[in-house]
Amino acid sequence: MVMLLTGGAGYIGSHTALVLLEAGYDVVVYDNLSNSSPESLRRVERLSGRSLTFIEADIRDTARLEQALTEHAVDAVIHFAGLKAVGESTEKPLAYYENNVGGTLSLCQAMRAADVRTLVFSSSATVYAESDEMPLTEAAPTGRPTNPYGSSKLMIEWILQDLYAANPDWSIAILRYFNPAGAHESGEIGEDPNGIPNNLLPYVSQVAVGRLEQLSIYGNDYATPDGTGVRDYIHVMDLAEGHLKAANAIARASGLHLWNLGTGKGYSVLEAVQAFERVSQRPVPYRVVGRRPGDIAQCWADPRKAEAELDWQCSRGIDDIMADAWRWQSHNPQGYRDSER
């Protein structure tokens, strides 16, 4: 089976490419490298002992996409490509809608033209309405996202639902990720954000390795056990394996499915920092500052639907996430730039 991964050179896409290659799939990565390095793919090939096809192109180029789908006889698409920086999306809403929503429309049009109807989409727990009731099941109401990034994910979900309603021969999986974190256990591939990281784990590991001075904890006055925000951190390899299971499941029959990919456990910022310090044996200096606009107090998944329907389960815990994040960061202090020089 041939899988095309839009955004496959990025953080989650590269780990998924590895899992797919190891499971025997042929992989075509379609990425414009706007937020990634081709070095991730070289390492994926080395780790798997197999080669993949890389196409450097933009998903908004519908004709190029259609050509790629046809030329490589693609069976299914996993759609990771998109812009994902929440803060930046509030400054550049049009770029986010154009890239994420416009890019997805272009992809669906190319798939229709090439007669490929099996699609796995990277959505996010950010589409859920803020709630005091945890864990979140797939039936929990969606809300009005607090930023254009989140809105773009919800809009794409609506587009895919409408597409399926009109074309029930499509097979679509919408995966709502909670907080992806960690790295492949080899330490060879991992998260390599451009500039100052927005997300907690890359920030913490860059402090630990000496690239950044101090972590700012955004608020300790939330209604949570220690006052800091609580999230469901899912190991990126568990997440990648979830994509393999979802792609297999939807290849069997048409349908539209929603699955949460999370662990079902929430950890506070302070608990996450302590786990990182314990596992890495490195101090992570921090100070508590004011809340970050748009943040919520707590968010964790009820993953039972995905577990039951996909025969999938997270096998890695918070200590594995921290150990693997640290192995990646300490082996590659400057990320992939270390091997690009």
For ligand UFG, the binding residues (CB under 6 A) are: 84, 86, 124-126, 178-179, 198-200, 203, 215-218, 229, 231, 269, 292, 295, 299
- Collapse the DSSP code of 4 into the 3-class scheme (helix H, G, I; strand E, B; otherwise coil) and give the result: strand
CB atoms within 10 A of CB 154: 18
Assess whether 11 carries a catalytic annotation: no
DSSP secondary structure letters along 256-319: EEEEEES-S--EEHHHHHHHHHHHH-----EEEEPPPTT--SEE-B--HHHHHHHT------HH
Distance CA 5, CA 44 (A): 14
Instruction: Give whichever of 47 and 254 is closer to ligand NAD, judged by the CB atom.
Output: 47
**Which of 145, 180, 219, 303 touches ligand NAD by CB under 6 A?**
180
Q: Using CB distances below 5 to 8 A depending on partner kind, what does residue 58 bind out of ligand UFG, ligand NAD, none?
A: ligand NAD
Q: What is the SS3 assignment for 25? A: coil
The CB-of-15 to ligand NAD minimum distance in angstroms stands at 8
Q: Does 64 bind ligand NAD (CB under 6 A)?
A: no
Q: Does residue 260 come out as left (phi exceeding 0), alpha (psi in the -120 to 50 range) or beta?
A: beta
Dihedral, CA of residue 37, residue 38, residue 43 and residue 44, to nearest 10:
100
Torsion sign, CA atoms 99, 100, 104, 107 = positive
76-to-66, 201, 243 alpha-carbon distances in Å: 13, 31, 12
Residue nearest to ligand NAD (CB): 10
Q: Between residues 71 and 221, which has the closer beta carbon with respect to ligand NAD?
A: 71
- Cβ of residue 13: shortest distance to ligand NAD, in angstroms? 5
Closest CB 235 distance from ligand UFG, rounded Å: 14
In the complex, what is the shortest distance from the CB of residue 14 to ligand NAD, in angstroms, rounded to a whole number?
Answer: 8
Between 24 and 210, whose beta carbon lies closer to ligand UFG? 210
Full strand arrangement of the beta sheet holding 298-299? 267-268, 230-231, 298-299
Nearest to 91, CA basis, from 175, 198, 206: 198
Note whether 156 and 121 are within 8 A (CB).
yes
Q: Does 89 bind ligand NAD (CB under 6 A)?
A: no
Does position 336 bind ligand NAD by CB under 6 A? no
- Which of 3, 81, 108, 136 binds ligand NAD (CB under 6 A)? It is 81
297 is an interface residue for ligand NAD by CB under 6 A: no
**Considering the rule CB under 6 A, would residue 228 count as an interface residue with ligand NAD?**
no
Residue 217 contact among ligand UFG, ligand NAD, none, beta carbon within 5 to 8 Å by kind: ligand UFG
Q: Is 32 in the site for ligand NAD (CB under 6 A)?
A: yes
C-alpha atoms less than 13 angstroms from C-alpha of 7 in its C-beta half-sphere: 21
Which of 149, 164, 203, 233 is flagged as catalytic?
149
Residue 232 touching ligand NAD (CB under 6 A): no
Which are the catalytic amino acids?
Answer: 149
Chain contacts with ligand NAD (rule: CB under 6 A):
6-7, 9-13, 31-36, 58-60, 80-84, 99, 103, 122, 124, 177, 180, 199
